[in-house]
């Protein structure tokens, strides 16, 4: 497993979220991830969350690939990894096939990997269903 460090770039926008729950500043890669932070921060079931947790390696199309989930969340005592993507991107079959390979490796590690889209994020701020 490895840890990915996000660095400022002229090409990619980064967002900073100040978490009172976690007492730290988190760097995220998209507006959608930033919005997800609000759900995680204010959900009473979520006891902890971190952005860009330790990643893992998996095999896809006969290649070794590396992957870092967007979030690691502890909710009701269970650890989960979240991948946050726009709904339009998850509609592509190539994305879904590769995501299934990531999910299989995550399951092998023992932590479920859950896909979350703006259809779940950009709703009422009172509940984000990650099941």
Distance CA 67, CA 18 (A): 24
**Dihedral in degrees, nearest 10, Cα atoms 6, 10, 11, 12:** 30
Looking at residue 24, its pLDDT comes to 96
- Bigger pLDDT: 129 or 79? 79
- What are the backbone angles phi and psi of residue 78, rounded to the nearest 5°? -110, 135
| Per-residue pLDDT tens over the stretch 54-78 | 999 999 999 999 999 999 999 999 9
* Overall residue count recorded for the chain in this entry: 131
H-helix or E-strand spanning residue 19 = strand 15-19
Q: Please classify residue 60 by burial: count the beta carbons closer than 10 Å to its beta carbon, then call 0-12 exposed, 13-18 middle and 19+ buried.
A: middle
Give the model's confidence band at 2: pLDDT under 50 very low, under 70 low, under 90 confident, else very high. very low
Instruction: Return the domain boundaries, the chain.
Output: 15-121
Q: Domain 15-121, what fold?
A: Trna Endonuclease; Chain: A, domain 1 (3.40.1350)
DSSP code of residue 127: -
| Per-residue pLDDT tens over the stretch 14-53 | 999 999 999 999 999 999 999 999 999 999 999 999 999 9
- Provide the 10 A C-beta neighbour count for residue 81: 24
């Amino acid at each position: 497993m490895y840890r990915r460090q996000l660095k400022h770039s002229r090409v990619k926008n980064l967002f900073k979220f100040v978490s009172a729950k976690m007492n730290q500043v988190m760097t995220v890669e998209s507006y959608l991830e930033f919005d997800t932070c609000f759900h995680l921060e204010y959900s009473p079931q979520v006891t902890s969350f971190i952005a860009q947790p330790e990643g893992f390696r998996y095999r896809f199309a006969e290649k070794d690939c590396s992957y870092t989930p967007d979030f690691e969340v502890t909710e009701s005592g269970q650890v989960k990894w979240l991948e946050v993507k726009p709904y339009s991107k998850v509609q592509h079959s190539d994305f879904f096939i590769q995501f299934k390979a990531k999910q299989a490796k995550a399951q092998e590690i023992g932590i479920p990997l859950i896909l979350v889209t703006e259809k779940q994020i950009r709703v009422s701020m009172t509940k984000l269903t990650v099941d």
